[in-house]
Chain A
Amino acid sequence: MKASKFYYVVLIMCSLVFTVSCTKLNEDLYSELTGAGSSKSVSDLLTSAYSTLNGPYQQDNRWCLQEITTDEAIAPTRGGDWDDNGIHRALHLHLWNSDNSYMLNTFNGLGNAIFQASNVLRFNPTAQQAAEAKFIRSLAMFDMLDLWGQVPYRENLDDFKTPPSVMTGQDAMDFIVKDLNDAMKDLPTAGVAYVASKNAARVLLMKLYLNRGVFLNRQSPTFSKEDMNQVISLAKAISASKAYKVSDPGHYFDNFAPNNDKISTENIFTLYNENGVRGGSVDRTWNTVAHYNMLPGGWNGWATLSDFYNKFQSSDERRGIYYDYPADTTSNKSQDYHRQNVGFFAGQQYSWVTNEPLMARNPSTAPLVFTPEVTLRTSGATLETAGIRPMKYAYDYKSVGQKNNDWVVYRYSDVLLMQAEAILRGGDGTTAEAIEIVNRIRTNRGVPALTTLTLDDLLDERGRELYWEGWRRQDLIRFGKFLDAWQEKPADVSPNTLLFALPAQQVASNPNLTQNPGF
């Protein structure tokens, strides 16, 4: 008995040991890759890098930082609506702090774009892929520089333990210029606006040179002649490519239409939106502004300020027209009501189904009349209706879900206006040349030609041409007006607000970042 018992014990112990001779623990991935090995995956990474720009650009992130902080736009608190922890009010009043979620989301979105673009360079891209990635990276870095004055950068994307280095001022600009010049030869010369091209890189360089003085000294910038001449020569190179022309009269809104990838004559760089393929939230240009009872209804509603609206003459096409476009399936087109459907919506609004005047929501007997006056917190009878509403992108009724309007980043009119500005700021050329350039645009927009041109006039013209496209803050800072008082905003108490606060989370994660002064 003892022997067999012993035998059993040994048998069990052996089988235990046998099974116990460990399984090697391996973590296998089934639905993901551990790296981007093939060339197809590099182009997939590049597609991702473009899409990453949708977060900061098409969602209300970078846009809010560049627009709600200005005299062009306001996001009023309407009773229980749009309070959102005060983030919109803080932007308009220039009273932000490092907790503001728009700053956080924009910083993260741009950081993501820099990362994604750099990731493409890691995996043996083709020359053109590398060039496109560098353009995307430069675009994101330029925005970081503009908004915060600090640009974080990772040499080695594998190493998360080392905190990223931070470039500021001249260093950051040199890096961006070098990247763009490296990329220039490999970028396509012509093609669709949603793929980075040589002209897109030229526009970015123009923006950089034009604002260089500002990035070095925000409060009192100086504009060097060399920089201004760079701007002018780049503008001339873009014009020489003959790829663009100022939109014909009646076609200003082609640039923002659902099929703008085909019919726009001005778009130089856009973010791709295509129903069923990919894209970002361009419908927020409608959602955040429109009233509930409009078609389609929105969340009522960001608005513009009356002083800004009054800069437009009534013949100005940009102020708003009836725009005839294929994706308009409403009765407004089919029944020939032809009510204004793009631009600044002011006064009594009409239904595009019945052509009857629209009513408000609370109470439903009050007519829906958008008033020019709007306050930071609306109340009383105009709680819902205060504020004129600009909607530039014609609504894509045909697409359910993703809308087709490509998001406009760079346009040819912007190039011309920058050329004129560079001349006025000391570049080669006469004021008469600058006036002529500006009038090329004005004539096509239906407003009389100018005979004189000062910097203030140019700022106003940039406002009228590029309203709500995400340039106003940069322009106001450059023209020295960002700290001034305007409607619903007192003058800034300190020049610290020429920069945004770095998100507290990021300052905590990266010791190389120093919080901007005053925050």
Chain B
Amino acid sequence: MIINNTGQPGGSTTVKIRGNSSIRAGNNPLFVLDGIPLSGTSARPGGSGGFSTDGGNPLTYLNPSDIASIDILKDASATAIYGSRGANGVVIITTKRAKTGEPTLNLGASVGISNLLKKPDVLNGSAFRKAIQNYTPDDVATSDFGSNVDAFDAITRKAPTQNYYGDITGGTENGRYRLSLGHLDQSGIIKNSDLKKYTANLSSSFKFLENKRLGLDVNLLVTQTNENLAPIDVGVGFTGNVISQALQWNPTRPLYDENGNRTYVSSNQINPMTSLAAYKDKAVVNTIVASVSPYYKITDDLEYKLIYSVTRQTGERTGRYIAGMIDSSQVENGMAFVSNNTETDQQLTQTLSYNKQLSDDLSLNAVAGYEFLDYKYYWNSESGSGFNYNGLDFYDYLNYSTANNRSINSYRDPSNQLQSFFLRASFNYLQRYLLTATIRRDGSTKFGENNRYANFPSLAFAWNVSNEPFLKNSRIVNQLKLRLGWGETGNSAFPSGASRDRFTFGTQSITQANFGNPDLKWEASNTLNAGIDFALFNSRLSGSLDYFNKKTTDALFESIIAQPAPPSGKLWVNLPGEVSNKGFELSLTGNIVSKKDWNWNLTVNGTYIQNNVSGLTGYYTTAALRGQGFSGVLGQRMVNGQPLNVWYLAKFAGIDPTTGTSMYVAKDGTVGTPTNDAKYDPALNKFYVGSPNPKYLLGITTDVTYKKFTATFNMNGAFGHYLFNNTMATVLGLSNLPGRNIGSYYDNPSLNESVSNSASASTRYLEKGDYMKMSNITLSYRVGNIGNTIKNLNVSLTGQNLFVLTGYNGFDPEVNTDGSDADIPSLGIEYLPYPPARTILLGVNFSL
């Protein structure tokens, strides 16, 4: 399951393979790029205090046109070879390799437009007028300004995208190369935000010596991404960010006055156009990934390979905030910051592969290896305030700031090294019986002294039934394979230094920040899976069915230390609890029509997952719900017998007809409103009301080809989960009237809801998250060759994120706002995100 946490170009994503397994530490899978295990962190410096808080996508530096394939490893036997980092699955990304032959030039270009896909409904001018006459008739005169303005429309735009790409590839068997260059210019649908990317990728392969036994692969990837970020801070206070300000803007009030100046209301009711103008936020990330990989065929069966790679990313972020635009008493108090991040990763992997036909019936494929990984991370940041706006960007002259309002900071992560040995052996008997065994021994500097090294074994067995004599010539069954596997993998996504006593520095002070735990170790996942792969009817129908059962134990957790304890002091422990994810995956591909001119394929894949937590002592709370009137409100728990991140909220029972306030269910089952009786206070009566983890995931892909036309459709959806619409709860409630706009959802006079009704963390805002999204439609036409110069011209029209079928009232059922509390992640909250965009692109590519 992949969720875009935000609609921002280059924004962070959440990827969950086979469910949510970790209570605390990161749930994202391990990404491996051409054999290089990535650190998974983005080098874009973070933001706060009104600047975008999104963490950024660590894979932004890749150019999708450079990617040849993406393989997702889910089974334990496949991931076990990644040992202490493979517990959440592994995504293998392979970039395009050099092709032999005459040098060929491929060029591609696409241009397109993005616009807003979906947003919560708010009232327009006339509906708002009616609403204030109905709910707050005394204030109509002061709240109706006569116009009809769509503020959200004013902050968004139809955003153009351009993408240019070219690659040159050629060479011989013994020396070939591929050079690609790309440029992406993607504007965001929120004004002033965009992403520009410049990528260059060089990959080459050489073979030396008479017998061509010595080979060398050299790869170099260089990318620069420049971003202008929209000021969307999800941790913002009651004044909100540009999204809430646009949603709440009084639609009868013009955004600009007669002189063309932005309307100023007050310092806590902010004109969204002012927010856009007051913030400027640029991030530049430079990435270099270089790898050198010599290999030597010692004998025909034995090959030795070494990979040495360096990844270096530097991110710089500069931002400025013109305080005087927002609050006229703060004209002298503009602020700016400059932050830098540097990440240097090195890898040394040596492998020895052995491929031999031991006898006529039995063949062996074995790999033994050693790997050493080193990740270094350093950041610094400076900020100051006391600037008044005179046309220059404050971050270019930080020395002007007042001495008492400066902040400087630097930090170097503790060393993070991983040293491993691994061995895998696959036996193939008669092409029918396959046995694979893997063992990996990992040592990490992150683990406590007493548990530095760990072993991760796995065993898999497969039976190619279709190669058995009784099925060999079957016309119905073309392929039938039964698989059974078991393996143990680990998760070590916790920060370095977690197992040591650490004292951090404050201004002229030190504080103990961490209690050391020399027993700290990786989180272990034990997976059992069984599957059937099949192809029937001349491979017209193929697919696979898998059952998986994954138990994660020794959950990594920052536990609460009993007081007296260090402030924000942490104790990393492995919890005795267990998270279990089990379910089924079914994938069916049908070649429905297969004729000379006509071809129609349909693939459907579905997953059913059941998630459960057990063995914890007590419970842990997370999911910070935010907004006006919601401080310190947490909506989810990790507790035994419930799925991970189960919703723990009050049960809403309608609006009380006499007082117009919300009614809730009390613990004894009766219903009432707290206005009349404090026993119904929603804070005192909470229940477990649903899970944010989807039960069913569905993907549908179909492509139809007719002669030279191809149409591809991709849909995906998730079902059985609940999302909390935090935007609707605190930003658009009825109490906004008469000064601010409300959600159309609340404009329901028959309810007789009172304007002084307050929102609380209840099921009123918990919505079913079921959706089906048309994520991609591509129509392409293969023009073919034009004359002697242009070969393989292809024209395509692509639509991404075209529409969503859902009952959810917020921006996007796929959005995941960060509501983590004390580093326990949350899931399923939507609060003022960068809105999702629909993009339509027209592209052409050809070779010369």
Q: Could you list which residues of chain A lie within 8 angstroms of chain B, going by C-beta atoms?
A: 5, 8-9, 12, 16, 19-20, 22-23, 25-36, 41, 44-45, 47-48, 51-52, 55, 77-87, 89-90, 93, 95, 97, 99, 101, 107-112, 114-116, 118-119, 152-154, 160, 163-164, 275-278, 292-293, 295-297, 299, 361-365, 377-380, 383, 399-402, 504-506, 508-510, 513
Min CB distance A381 to B, Å, is 8
Contact of B628 among A44, A80, A95, A277 (CB under 8 A): A80
The answer to whether B563 and A48 have CB atoms under 8 Å apart is no
Known interface pairs A12-B352, A35-B503; 8 further A-B residue pairs with C-beta atoms within 8 A, sorted by A's residue number: A8-B298, A25-B443, A26-B415, A77-B629, A83-B630, A90-B684, A93-B678, A292-B268
How many angstroms from the CA of A82 to the CA of B633 in the assembled complex?
Answer: 12
Number of residue pairs across A and B with beta carbons under 8 Å?
272
Chain A residue nearest in CB terms to B510: A44
Residues of B near A508 (CB, < 8 A) are 560, 617-618
Q: How distant is the Cα of A176 from the Cα of B506 in the complex, in angstroms?
A: 29
Q: Which of B333, B508, B565 contacts A112 (CB 8 A)?
A: B565
Q: Which residue of A lies closest to B617 (CB)?
A: A508
Contact B511 A48 (CB under 8 A): yes
Instruction: Tell me if B468 counts as interface (CB < 8 A to partner A).
Output: no
Q: A27-B497, A95-B681, A401-B404 are in contact. Are A108 and B675 (CB under 8 A)?
A: no
Which chain A residue shows the least CB distance to B660? A379
A36 vs B504: C-alpha distance when bound (angstroms): 10
- Are B405 and A401 closer than 8 Å at their CB atoms? yes
Q: A16-B350, A277-B507 are in contact. Are A116 and B566 (CB under 8 A)?
A: yes
> Beyond A9-B302, A31-B504, A90-B684, is A153–B350 a contact (Cβ under 8 Å)?
no
Q: A12-B352, A45-B510, A77-B758 are in contact. Are A363 and B738 (CB under 8 A)?
A: yes
Residues in A with CB closer than 8 Å to B386 are 400
Cβ < 8 Å to A, chain B residues 630-644: 630-633
How far does the alpha carbon of A508 sit from the alpha carbon of B639 in the complex, in Å? 13
A114 touches B617 (CB 8 A): no
Which chain B residues border A97 with CB–CB below 8 Å? 684
In the bound complex, residues from chain B placing their C-beta under 8 Å from that of A506 are 560, 562-563
One of B587-595, B711-719, B728-736, B832-840 contacting the partner:
B728-736
Which residue of A has the minimal Cβ distance to B519? A161
Determine if A30 and B511 form an interchain contact, defined as CB atoms under 8 angstroms apart: no
Minimum CB distance partner of A118 in chain B? B564
Taking CB atoms, residues of chain B closer than 8 Å to A164 are 562-564
B730 is contacted by which of A80, A118, A362 (Cβ under 8 Å)? A80
Name the CB-closest residue of A to B446.
Answer: A27
Known contacts A47-B508, A47-B509, A81-B628; A154 and B500 CB within 8 A of each other = no
B758 touches A79 (CB 8 A): yes
Known: A86-B682, A107-B563, A508-B617. A80 touches B372 (CB 8 A): no
Which single residue of chain B is at the shortest CB-CB distance from A32?
A: B502
Q: What CA separation (Å) do A122 and B560 show in the bound complex?
A: 22
Cβ-defined contact, B302 with A36, below 8 A? no
**Residues of B contacting A29 with CB < 8 Å?**
414, 497, 500, 502
A275→B735 contact, CB < 8 A: no
A82 CA / B141 CA spacing, docked (Å): 28
Nearest to A274 among chain B residues (CB) is B404
User: How far apart are B381's CB and chain A's nearest CB, in angstroms?
Assistant: 13
Pick from A48, A89, A276: contact of B509, CB below 8 A. A48
Q: Say yes or no: B350 contacts A362, CB within 8 Å.
A: no
A34 touches B567 (CB 8 A): no
Report the separation of the CA atoms of residues A377 and B298 in the bound assembly, to the nearest whole angstrom.
82
Smallest CB-CB A-B distances: 9 pairs:
A111-B563, A86-B683, A276-B404, A80-B735, A508-B618, A510-B562, A30-B412, A115-B564, A112-B567
Q: Chain A residues with Cβ under 8 A from B190's Cβ?
A: none
A401 to B404, CA, bound (A): 9
Which residue of B is nearest A78, CB measured?
B756
The answer on a CB contact under 8 Å between B738 and A362 is yes
Mask of B488-525 contacts with A, CB within 8 angstroms, 1/0: 00000000110111111111111111010100000000
From known contacts A12-B296, A90-B683, A292-B268, infer whether A83 and B759 are also in contact, taking CB-CB under 8 Å: yes
Residue from A8, A114, A363, A400 within 8 A of B563 (CB atoms): A114
Query: B126-151: contact bitstring with A at CB < 8 Å (1 yes, 0 no)?
Result: 00000000001011011100000000
| Residue numbers in A under 8 Å from B658 (CB-CB) | none
User: How would residues 245 to 276 of chain B score, 1 for a CB under 8 Å from any chain A CB and 0 otherwise?
Assistant: 00000000000000000000011100000000
Distance (Å) between the CB of B174 and the closest chain A CB?
20
Contacts of A99 in B (CB 8 A): 683
By a CB distance below 8 angstroms, the chain A residues around B739 are 361-364
Q: List 28 A-B contacts (CB under 8 A).
A: A16-B350, A16-B352, A20-B350, A23-B417, A25-B443, A27-B497, A28-B414, A29-B497, A31-B413, A33-B503, A34-B501, A41-B510, A44-B510, A45-B503, A45-B509, A79-B756, A79-B758, A80-B730, A86-B681, A86-B683, A99-B683, A112-B566, A116-B512, A160-B561, A160-B571, A363-B142, A365-B141, A402-B404
Cβ contact of A83, chosen from B405, B412, B509, B760, cutoff 8 A? B760
Residues of B within 8 A of A44 (CB): 505, 508-510
| Chain A neighbourhood of B730, CB < 8 A | 80
The answer to whether B509 touches A509, judged by C-beta atoms less than 8 angstroms apart, is no
Contact A12 B304 (CB under 8 A): yes
Please measure, in the bound complex, the distance between the C-alpha atom of A8 and the C-alpha atom of B213, giving whole angstroms: 12
Q: Choose one: A9, A47, A95, A399; the contact of B678 (CB below 8 Å).
A: A95
